[in-house]
Amino acid sequence: DKVYVNGQIVNPQEAKVSVFDRGFIFGDGLYEVMAQINGRFFYEKEHLERLQSGLHKISIDFNANLLPNEIKKLLRAVRLTNKDCMLYIQITRGVAPRQHSYPSDITPTLMMYSVPKVLPEINMVNAHVITRKDFRWSRCDIKMTSLLGNVMLNEEGVQHDCYETILHRNGLLTEASHSNVFFVKEGIVYTHKADEYILNGITRIVVIELCKSLGIEVRESAITLEEVNMVDEAFLTGTSTQIAAIQKIDEHQLYIENEKGPITRKLQGAFLKLKYK
């Protein structure tokens, strides 16, 4: 296993970043996670476009078009070319004496690593989830490395033997600690709109497109906390989560054992076809 740091591919114990890196001091950086499936990165273009758009939002001067070539070098070095694996990319603003404002002359730090991982064909998890107040900031559209809010909210779910924590803000269900959330009510699929309160997941976008192509009505409109007890189906989406059926939300049991709803099943089937297209 090797790590990519600023153009060098080295052993993890030799990979070094300054303690004055703004990623370390402020969490001033972004990340991406992509899955290589069947020899290609799943929706690579969309992931890299989201990264570029995030970099633009926080004024980090880095050209994401440089990444595919660097990714190839890394994968070759760790012998994962065309193999099923997960890739983590992190770009921070760079190293400078500590001051809040953006330093004018600064070089971003690029770190990447890849680990072999074969994702299950379909996510077999029947997730139990809890709902919690979304106390994160209001720029959740930025995929930043400062994930303390997500980490604390996820931990609370884990403490309750749950797979995820789904979040609500102003009475509306937004997303989960590391995935997006969808609900099905009377045959219609609902998910929070892509504004500043959620990360617009690539898997979320794919699932919305799948709904449209399957003729399933989909609305980018949030479910309220009160409505949660009335939904017929619910599922989570994310790069490694894929599409995971939710079995229980707080005390509301949607299914018993390994059952799941017809729309969740249909979308999982269609997603599987996309993966191996």
Active-site residues: which are they?
A: 143
Place of tokens 């998910």: 191
How many residues bind to ligand PLP according to rule CB under 6 A? 14
Query: How do beta strands 164-169 and 126-133 pair?
Result: parallel
The Cα 272–Cα 163 span in angstroms is 22
Closest C-alpha among 51, 33, 50, 52 to residue 42: 33
Segment near ligand PLP (CB under 6 A); pick from 59-67, 221-229, 237-245, 262-270: 237-245
The Cα 68–Cα 176 span in angstroms is 29
* Structure tokens that stand for 188 in this block: 């219609």
* Structure tokens that stand for 260 in this block: 């799941």
173 belongs to the binding site for ligand PLP (CB under 6 A): no
Q: Site residues for ligand PLP, window 47-106 (CB under 6 A)?
A: none
125 belongs to the binding site for ligand PLP (CB under 6 A): no
174 belongs to the binding site for ligand PLP (CB under 6 A): no
Q: Site residues for ligand PLP, window 30-49 (CB under 6 A)?
A: 33
Contact residue for ligand PLP among 22, 192, 204, 260 (CB under 6 A): 204
Q: At residue 48, what is the residue type?
A: L
Q: At residue 194, what is the residue type?
A: A
Of 22 and 50, the one with the shorter C-beta distance to ligand PLP is 50
- Check: CB of residue 277 under 8 Å from CB of residue 247: no
29 belongs to the binding site for ligand PLP (CB under 6 A): no
Contact residue for ligand PLP among 36, 126, 179, 268 (CB under 6 A): 179
Task: Give contact residues for ligand PLP (rule: CB under 6 A).
Answer: 33, 150, 175, 178-180, 199, 201-204, 237-239
